[in-house]
């Protein structure tokens, strides 16, 4: 589901190849500790050549515009990325439970919890299986779940999260889309912005300063 907000990144004879890594890894008010109990997931990776013009457009995730979703995911050990086995759409103030019947994982329909209070603007997923599960919060993207943050949830425990995302953009070639970030990205972001502050359509020029070996993003009309 398109959010209605888009960001376009453009270059023209950049001077050095670059990979932009986009995450929504900030301002999650979640149960547990970052990089211990939950982990951000790489949203997009955009590649730009050293020569010639190039452009890439990205839909921006917004909890006001996108259908949030909880997903049961599995980690692929050979590339540290996640794949979805099942998911359920969810809205703020609702709860769902992950269950396993006949070896198949399924989520219960999202509803108001009858047993535990839900903090304002939050969502909760409870692991009702007999094993630890990886549960991701993301959004429903054209009939599939796009994971943004992954939780390790013990049996009988819950993941509670208030989704207040910040979009962060890094220049690094160390990650691929859907990869789980086991720790902070080793480079500083060249863009760090509250998603609510992003306009309906924004355009950024990616430039490279060869003397300093640094990249920057600047808004353009």
- Is the overall model pTM greater than 0.75, yes or no? yes
The fraction of the chain above a pLDDT of 70, given in percent, is 91
The answer to whether residue 82 scores a pLDDT higher than 60 is yes
Helix, strand, coil shares of the chain as percentages rounded to 5?
0, 55, 40
Q: How far apart are CA 188 and CA 214, in angstroms?
A: 11
What pLDDT does residue 1 have?
41
Longest dimension (CA), the chain: 61
- Would you place residue 110 in the very low, low, confident or very high pLDDT band (cuts 50, 70, 90)? very high
Q: How far apart are CA 131 and CA 138, in angstroms?
A: 22
What pLDDT does residue 16 have?
98
- pLDDT tens per residue, range 125-173: 999 999 999 999 988 877 778 898 899 999 999 999 887 778 899 999 9
- pLDDT tens per residue, range 169-198: 999 999 999 999 988 899 999 999 988 788
- The burial of 171, by beta-carbon neighbours within 10 Å (0-12 exposed, 13-18 middle, 19 or more buried), is given as buried
What pLDDT does residue 77 have?
86
Q: How far apart are CA 17 and CA 50, in angstroms?
A: 4
How many helices (H) and strands (E) the chain has is answered by 0, 18
What pLDDT does residue 31 have?
56
Radius of gyration, CA atoms only, the chain: 18
Q: How far apart are CA 60 and CA 36, in angstroms?
A: 26
User: H helices within 106-203, ranges in order?
Assistant: none
The answer to whether residue 66 scores a pLDDT higher than 50 is yes
DSSP state of 31: S
Every domain of the chain and the residues it spans: 5-62+165-220, 68-162
Q: What angle do CA 157, 161, 167 make, to 5 degrees?
A: 140
Contacts with 124 (C-beta within 8 Å, 6 or more apart), sequence order = 94, 95, 96, 113, 116, 118, 158, 159, 160, 161
What pLDDT does residue 112 have?
93
The answer to whether residue 63 scores a pLDDT higher than 80 is no
């Amino acid at each position: 589901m398109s959010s209605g907000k888009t960001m376009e990144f453009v270059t023209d004879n950049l001077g050095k190849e670059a990979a932009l890594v986009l995450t929504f890894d900030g301002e999650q008010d979640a149960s547990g500790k970052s990089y211990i109990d939950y982990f951000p997931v790489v949203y997009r990776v955009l590649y730009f050549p050293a020569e010639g013009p190039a452009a890439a457009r990205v839909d921006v995730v917004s909890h006001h515009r996108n259908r949030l979703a909880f997903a049961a995911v599995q980690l692929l050990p050979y590339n540290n990325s996640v794949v979805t086995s099942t998911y359920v759409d969810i809205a703020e103030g609702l709860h769902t439970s992950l269950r396993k019947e006949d070896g198949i994982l399924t989520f219960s329909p999202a509803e108001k919890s009858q047993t535990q209070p839900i903090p304002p603007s939050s969502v909760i997923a409870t692991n009702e299986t007999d094993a630890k599960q990886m549960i991701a919060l993301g959004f429903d993207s054209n009939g599939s779940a796009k994971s943004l943050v992954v939780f390790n949830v013990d049996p009988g425990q819950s993941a509670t999260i208030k989704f207040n995302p910040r979009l962060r953009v890094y220049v690094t070639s160390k990650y691929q889309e859907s990869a789980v970030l086991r720790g902070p990205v080793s480079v500083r972001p060249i863009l760090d912005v509250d998603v609510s502050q992003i306009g309906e359509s924004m355009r950024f020029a990616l430039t490279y300063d060869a003397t300093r070996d640094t990249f920057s993003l600047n808004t353009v009309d």
